[in-house]
A and B are shown apart, each in its own frame.
Chain A
Amino acid sequence: MKIHEYQAKEIMASRGIPVPLGRMATTVEDAVAAVRPLIEESGNPVVVLKSQIHSGGRGKGTFKEHPELRGVNVITDGVDGGPEAAEEKVRELAGKMLGSTLVTVQTGPEGKVVNRLYLEQGIDIERELYLAILLDRSVSRNIVMASTEGGMEIEKVAEETPEKILRAEIDPAIDLADFQANALAHGLGIEGDTTSGFVRFVKALDRAATELDTDLIEINPLVITGGGQVMALDGKMGFDDNSLFRHPDIAAMRDETEEDPAELAAKEAGLNYIKLDGTIGCLVNGAGLAMATMDTIKHVGGEPANFLDVGGGADEQQVTTAFQIITKDPSVKGIFVNIFGGIMRCDVIATGIVAAVKSVGLAVPLVVRLEGTNVEEGKRILNDSGLDLVAADSLKDGAEKIVELAR
C-alpha cells in the first residue's frame, strides 16, 4: 500500500525525523490560508506547493490542462512582496493544480488527477543525497541504500555509476548498527557535526521501517541544509500489504481516490485484479497461471483485458464477484476462465460461474478450461447448467478459442 508524501512526512515528524514544516490542502482556500502561518512559523518567505499523487517524478511532471505548469512549484513571490504576494501566487497555482491531471514519467500518459496539495516551507539546500530502505531479495533482508546523487533517478545512477551507490545490510536481530550508519555517512562525504545528525536520521528511519512494516522508504532528496541539518525534503513510503492487519492506523491512510474503482472492489472481495487495455477478460486461479494466461492470449493474437487471480481458497461468492467485475468492463469482448485446481476446487469455480451468469447475464462468449481438484464434478455442474459456453482442453486451446470467438 502506498501513501502520500505528506502522510509519510507526518509519520517521520512523529518519530523525530526532521522534515520541513508543511500543511496539506484539498481546496484553494485551505492552501491560501496555510501560507501566512507557514511563513511566520518557518521565518522563510519562500514556500513550495507540491502535488500529492501516488507517483514519483512530480517535480518534472506537467499538467495535461496546463502544459506550462509543473507538479511542484517553488513560490518566491513572498521574498519581495510579503505574505500577500505569496498568497496570491498560491491562489493562482492551486486553482490550476487541483482537479487537473498530472503526467509524470511514472504515471503513464493518462496521468493522475491531483486532489491534494502540500504546502511546505522553503529550505536552504547545501547538498542533495539519496537514501532508501528496502528489501534486498538476494539476501532476504532490508538494506539501506544511499547515494551522493540526490534528486536523480536512482535506477539511472545504479546503471551508469554503480560505484556511487552505498549499501548496508540490516540484520533483523540487531537493526542498523552505529558503525554501519557511520560508514554510510563517511561514504556520503558527511563530516563534522552533521555526522551525528545523519546517524540519528538513518537509524530512526530503520526503526520506522521495522516497526511499520514498510516495503519501501525512499528519501530523494535527503538534504543537508545550509545550517548543517539532515532533513527529508521528499518522502515516499510503501507498506507490506500482508502486514497491514497489525497497523490499522497505516491502513486508515489509504487514499482510495488513487486507486482504480474496479481494482478496489476486487481487493475488498479478496481478489487480485488489475485492469489492462485489451478485450479478453481472464479469470484464473494462481498469479503465475494468470500471468501465463495473459501471455498466451497475447501470443495467439489477442490482448488481455485484465489480470485476475481468484486466489487459493476462493468461495462461490468471490467467483461471482470476479465474474461481475469482468463483465462490467465495457471493453471485454470475450471471457476466458482458466482453472487448474489445487487448493481451489473446480466444483466451487463452476458453481460460482453458474451463479454469476444467472445473476448478471452473459453478453459475450465464454470459454472455460477446468483441470485439477474435483474437475469431474466441476465439469458436470457446468454441463448440467445449460450455460452457453465453450469447453477447452488446454490453456493454449482455450486462448485460441476465445480470441477467435471475440473477433
Chain B
Amino acid sequence: MSILVGKDTRVLIQGLGKTGQFHTEKAIAYGTQMVGAVHPSRKGSVAHFEGETDPSGVPGRDDTYSVDLPVFATVEDAVAATGANASVVYVPPPFAADAIMEAAAAGLDLVVAITEGVPVADMVKAKRYLADKPTRLIGPNCPGVITPGECKIGIMPGYIHERGRVGVISRSGTLTYEAVYQLTLNGLGQTTAVGIGGDPVNGTNFVDMLRMFEEDPETDGVIMIGEIGGTAEEDAAGFVATSMTKPVAGFIAGTSAPPGKRMGHAGAIVSGGKGTAAAKIEAMTRAGIVMAETPSDMGEAMARALG
C-alpha cells in the first residue's frame, strides 16, 4: 500500500510548456502511467516522448521507452478516452486555478498542481469550488507526489527515493528532497512523499496527510517538514497528539528568519508575532513529535522516532 498514487494511477498532463514537457519525460522514464495531455488549442495532436528508462523507477521495464500521448481539448474528453484518474498541472499562473477546477469538474480523484505564483484570490475560489467535490488537490507551488517504484507525479528527482516505511509531508519542495534522500541513505525509505506546497491557500494540509498515513498499513512512521508562517504546523501537532498512533518526526525551517520578511514562499512570513519557528517547534515537541535540530538530522530524527 501507499497513499494518493500507485501503479494504477493514470495521469493526464495539463500544461504542455517547456517545464511540463521536461518533467513529463522524466515521469514516463520513471514508469508513471502518463495517458494523455490537455491543451485547449492542440486537440488531435500527439506529444511524443522517447528515451532511456530511469532505473530507479518502476521495476521490470525495458531499457528504453517510446510513448505517444494523445492531446485533448478538455479534461472531460481526456478522461472519457483514457480512463485517467489523476492529473498534473503545469499551466502558467494566470490560468492554473482554472485548470484545477476543470480537473475537478471532470471527476478526477487527484490533481497535483506544480505551478508557482498562482494568485491567492484564484485559489480561494478554486478551493471553494472543490469543497463539495471528491477530488483531492495537492499544491499548488509544490514538488508533487511520489510512491517510489510505482508512480511519480511532479518535479522531484526519482533516484533519491527508495521504497520503504516512512510517509513524508512537506511545505517545501527542496526540503522534501533532503528528507527523502536521508531516509534513503539510512535505509528507512518512503511509502509516499507528498509536497503540499508553500502557498497560503493550498488544497491539502498536514492534517489531511497525517490522517491518510495513519490509515496506511505500509507506513510505520511519518516525517512532517514545516516552515514559518500560518498555523498549519500547530494544527498538525494537535492532531498528532490526539489521533496518531504512529511515531512522527519533524523539522521547521526559518528559525533564523527575521520577522516581517517574506521568505520566498508567499506563506512563509512571521507577522504580528504569529507563525514563528519557536512556537511551531514547541507545539510539535509537546505533541510528542521528534524534532530534527538541523535539516541534516531529519533522517536521524525519524529513525529515533521509530525506535
Contact = CB atoms under 8 A, between A and B. Distances in A.
Interface of A: 106, 135, 137-138, 140-142, 154-155, 158-159, 171-173, 210, 213, 215, 240-243, 245-246, 272, 274, 276, 284-299, 304, 307, 309, 311-313, 340-343, 371-373, 394-397
21 contacts: A135-B120, A137-B201, A155-B272, A155-B273, A173-B128, A210-B121, A243-B120, A272-B264, A274-B263, A288-B170, A288-B265, A291-B257, A292-B172, A292-B295, A294-B256, A294-B257, A295-B254, A295-B294, A342-B157, A371-B181, A395-B296
Interface of A is mostly: mixed
Nearest to A275: B261
Given A173-B128, A284-B174, A296-B295, 12 more contacts: A135-B120, A137-B267, A140-B128, A155-B274, A173-B125, A286-B172, A289-B295, A291-B228, A293-B295, A295-B295, A307-B261, A396-B296
Contact of A172 (B19, B124, B160): B124
Contact of B174 (A272, A289, A307): A289
A342 B155 contact: yes
Interface in B254-305: 254-258, 260-261, 263-268, 272-274, 293-297
B257 A307 contact: yes
A373 B157 contact: yes
Interface of B: 19, 23, 26, 93-94, 114, 116-125, 127-128, 143, 155-157, 160, 170-175, 177-178, 181, 198, 200-201, 225, 227-228, 230-232, 235, 251, 253-258, 260-261, 263-268, 272-274, 293-297
B207 to A, nearest CB: 11
Nearest to B275: A137
Contacts of A395: 178, 294-296
4 tightest A-B contacts by CB? Answer: A288-B172, A287-B264, A286-B174, A396-B296
Nearest to A309: B264
A140 B155 contact: no
Contacts of B268: 287-288, 291
Most buried by B among A137, A240, A293: A137
A343 B23 contact: yes
B192 to A, nearest CB: 16
Given A342-B155, A395-B178, A242 B119 contact: yes
Contacts of A159: 273
Given A137-B230, A140-B124, A288-B253, A276 B258 contact: yes
Most buried by A among B174, B230, B268: B174
B198 A288 contact: yes
